[in-house]
Amino acid sequence: MQDPSIEIALIGAGTIGLSFAALHLTQNPNCTITIHDTRPDLQTYIQRHLPTYLPENANQEPYLARLSFANELPTAVKNAQIVQEQGPENLEFKVAIWAEIERHAREDALFWSSTSGIPASAQSREMQDPTRLLVVHPYNPPHIMPLLEVVPAPQQTAEAVVENTLEYWRELGRTPVVVKKECTGFVANRLAFALFREACSLVASGVVDVKELDEIVQASMGPRWTVAGPFKSYHAGGGEGGLTSFMEKIGGTVKNCWDASKEDVTANDVSVGGKWQEDVCKQADEAYGVVDTAERDMKTRKVLSAVADS
Ligand SMILES: NC(=O)c1ccc[n+]([C@@H]2O[C@H](COP(=O)([O-])OP(=O)(O)OC[C@H]3O[C@@H](n4cnc5c(N)ncnc54)[C@H](O)[C@@H]3O)[C@@H](O)[C@H]2O)c1
Ligand SMILES: *[C@@H]1O[C@H](CO)[C@@H](O)[C@H](O)[C@H]1NC(C)=O
């Protein structure tokens, strides 16, 4: 039988790196992890923060026993079958580190960048073999959120690299989705920030306040979207005629909303740094103070497990 053990090198262990470490350790009993991060207090930082990402009340020893540290990059990547990078979001950093990783890693190692926006085709600029690199963009926090946007560099990343990447994540029960073009923000953030722009615009117009807008989303699209995305939802909304029929019946309302949205966004100057921003941020501070992410994450896990069970 093939040895199922797999070694993973995590380069950068901040918010995203720790969350990925927890994900691999808890979902993949066959993995060992080596962390490389230039933070001087790395070990105390990890000892303090990683447990908050691991299942509560579980014995954490078996997880931590599969975790080690490497001060030097070559040592970290030398035996790894997967090298996953989540260092600073900075093109020069990523270009330099991939060229170095390539020099020291195994020839069959998969190379994944967690970047939110720097395409693989740009990061691989100084690699000997740019076919090896792709983006695996998580939706924060990845130890909870199932989505991974897999973004190969078109005409560059090898098909086998994409396939092996998808296979790994499917085996872990995650939801990897291939994004066919290296578009700005990929897909999840494009959608999220489109809704966010509209939310800011509606608050800036005085239609609702920050808290009321959140209530509206939490009590409608929020629960719906864990079960059916916008296309399936509106396809269902059209009855037997599906989305075609929905657009025939509701298309006028959709058009009015899209037109009004464009006008309001312009009228309220909803651009980043626009004059609306200070007031909306102040409202968020007053409504929520510092958000308890532990409670948020606990509830999100319950929602996901309810959806998975049904
Ligand atoms: N935070 C998010 O919501 C989010 C979501 C998706 C993707 N990302 C992407 O993940 C990456 C990391 O984001 P983050 O929020 O975890 O940042 P972060 O600042 O929390 O972590 C970055 C880590 O990289 C380390 N580092 C710096 N220089 C290094 C080097 N030369 N070698 C190794 N490690 C080094 C830092 O010490 C730090 O621990 C970015 O590319 C970001 O775009 C972030
Ligand atoms: C771990 O190894 C076992 C035994 O080979 C295998 O059945 C299982 O699918 C592996 N799990 C993962 C997540 O790779």
Tens of pLDDT, residues 133-143: 999 999 999 99
Is the confidence at residue 1, as pLDDT, over 60?
Answer: no
Say if ligand 1 is within 6 A of residue 89 CB: yes
Alpha-carbon distance 171 to 290, whole Å? 36
Residue in the structure block whose two tokens are 């070694």: 7
pLDDT tens for 66-105 read 999 999 999 999 999 999 999 999 999 999 999 999 999 9
119 close to 153: Cβ distance less than 8 angstroms? yes
CA of 28 to the centre of ligand 2 (A): 8
Residue at token pair 């989305």:
243
CA of 56 to the centre of ligand 2 (A): 24
Structure confidence at residue 4 as a pLDDT band (50, 70, 90): confident
Cβ(133)–Cβ(111) under 8 Å? yes
167 lines ligand 2 (CB under 6 A): no
Residue owning the nearest CA to atom 9 of ligand 2 = 171
pLDDT of residue 58: 83
End-to-end CA distance of the chain: 35
Q: Is 4 exposed, middle or buried (0-12, 13-18, 19+ CB in 10 A)?
A: exposed
Supply the CATH classification number for the domain 188-309. Answer: 1.10.1040.10
Distance CA 25, CA 28 (A): 6
Residue 113 predicted with pLDDT over 90: yes
Q: What is the mean pLDDT of the chain?
A: 96
Q: What is the mean pLDDT of residues 147-160?
A: 97
Average pLDDT over residues 248-264: 97
The pLDDT of residue 2? 66
Q: Would the pLDDT of 259 be above 90? A: yes
In this prediction, residue 271 carries a pLDDT of 95
Q: Can you give the pLDDT at residue 57?
A: 81
Find out whether the beta carbon of 4 lies less than 6 Å from any atom of ligand 2: yes
**Cα dihedral sign for 298, 303, 169, 178?**
negative
**Of all protein residues, whose CA lies closest to atom 13 belonging to ligand 2?**
28
Q: Which atom of ligand 2 is nearest to the CA of 168?
A: 14
Q: Are the CB atoms for 24 and 64 separated by under 8 Å? A: no
User: What was the pLDDT predicted at 307?
Assistant: 93
CB of 14 shorter than 6 A to ligand 1: yes
Q: Which token pair is 95? A: 């270009």
* Strand pairing report for 6-11 and 133-138: unpaired
Ligand 1 within 6 A of CB of 88: yes
Q: Which residues pair with 32 in a beta bridge?
A: 7
> Ligand 1: does its nearest atom lie under 6 Å from the Cβ of 138?
yes
Contact 31, 22 (CB under 8 A): no
Tokens of 124: 């691989």
The per-residue pLDDT for 3 is 76
Ligand 2 atom closest to the CA of 2, numbered from 1: 5
Ligand 1, pocket-test mutation among 49, 86, 137, 179, most atoms within 8 A of CB: 86
H or E segment at 247? helix 242-267
Residue identified by tokens 């260092």 is: 87
207, HSE (Cβ side, Cα atoms, 13 Å): 14
Number of the ligand closest to the Cα of 35:
1
Instruction: Indicate the pLDDT class of residue 283, thresholds 50, 70 and 90.
Output: very high
Smallest CA separation from ligand 1 atom 31, residue: 38
What's the alpha-carbon Rg for the chain, to the nearest Å?
22
Judged against a pLDDT cut of 60, whether residue 295 lies above it is answered with yes
Ligand 1 close to Cβ of residue 71 (< 6 A): no
56 band by pLDDT with thresholds 50, 70 and 90: confident
| pLDDT at site 251 | 97
Q: Is the CB of 15 under 6 A from ligand 1?
A: yes
Q: Please tell me if the CB atom of residue 30 comes closer than 6 angstroms to any atom of ligand 2.
A: yes
CATH superfamily of 6-178: NAD(P)-binding Rossmann-like Domain (3.40.50.720)
Q: Which residue has the tokens 């085709």?
A: 121
| 141 within ligand 1 shell (Cβ under 6 A) | no
Percent of the chain whose predicted confidence (pLDDT) is above 70: 99
The domain limits of the chain are 6-178, 188-309
